[in-house]
Amino acid sequence: MKNLLVAFLLIASFRLSAQENLNFGKQKELVSPEIHTDKSVTFRLYAPQANKVELQGDMLNQTGNAQMQKQADGIWTYTTAPLKSELYSYSFVLDGVKTRDPSNVYQIRDVASVVNVFLVGDGKADHYAVTDVPHGTLAKRWYNSPRNNMNRRLTVYTPPGYESGKQKYPVLYLLHGMGGDEEAWAALGRTAQILDNLIAKGIAKPMIVVMPNGNVAQQAAPGEDVKGFYKPTMQLPHTMDGKMEETFGDIIKFIESSYRVNANKSQRAIAGLSMGGFHSLHISRFYPKTFNYVGLFSPAIMPFGKTNSPVYENIDQTLKNQFSNGLKLYWIGIGKTDFLYKTVADYRNKLDSNQMKYTYVESEGGHTWANWRDYLVLFVPQLFK
Tell me the residue length of the chain: 385
In the chain, alpha helices (H): 2-25, 184-187, 191-200, 243-246, 248-258, 275-286, 315-323, 341-353, 369-379
Give me the pLDDT at residue 237, please.
Answer: 86
Half-sphere exposure of 281 (CA within 13 A, CB side): 25
Give me the pLDDT at residue 304, please.
Answer: 57
Which numeric CATH code is attached to 34-122?
A: 2.60.40.10
CA 164 to mean position of chain CA atoms = 28
Give me the pLDDT at residue 305, please.
Answer: 55
| C-beta of residue 296 within 8 angstroms of C-beta of residue 333 | yes
Q: Write out the chain's pLDDT in tens, 385 residues.
A: 444 444 444 444 444 444 444 444 444 689 999 999 999 999 999 999 999 999 999 999 767 899 999 999 999 999 999 999 999 999 999 999 999 999 999 999 988 889 999 999 999 999 999 999 999 999 999 999 999 999 999 999 999 999 999 999 999 999 999 999 999 999 999 999 999 999 999 999 999 999 999 999 999 999 999 999 988 888 788 888 999 999 999 999 999 999 999 999 999 999 999 999 999 999 999 999 999 999 999 999 875 556 788 999 899 999 999 999 989 999 999 999 999 999 999 999 999 999 999 999 999 999 999 999 999 999 999 999 9
Give me the pLDDT at residue 306, please.
Answer: 61
Give me the pLDDT at residue 249, please.
Answer: 97
Cis peptide bond upstream of 33, omega within 30: yes
Domain coordinates of the chain in residue numbers?
34-122, 132-382
CATH classification (class only), 132-382: alpha beta
Give me the pLDDT at residue 72, please.
Answer: 95
| C-beta of residue 61 within 8 angstroms of C-beta of residue 88 | no
| C-beta of residue 275 within 8 angstroms of C-beta of residue 177 | yes
| C-beta of residue 261 within 8 angstroms of C-beta of residue 284 | no
pLDDT digits (tens, 9 = 90+) for 308-344: 889 998 999 999 999 999 899 999 999 999 999 999 9
CA 264 to mean position of chain CA atoms = 27
3-class SS at 313?
coil
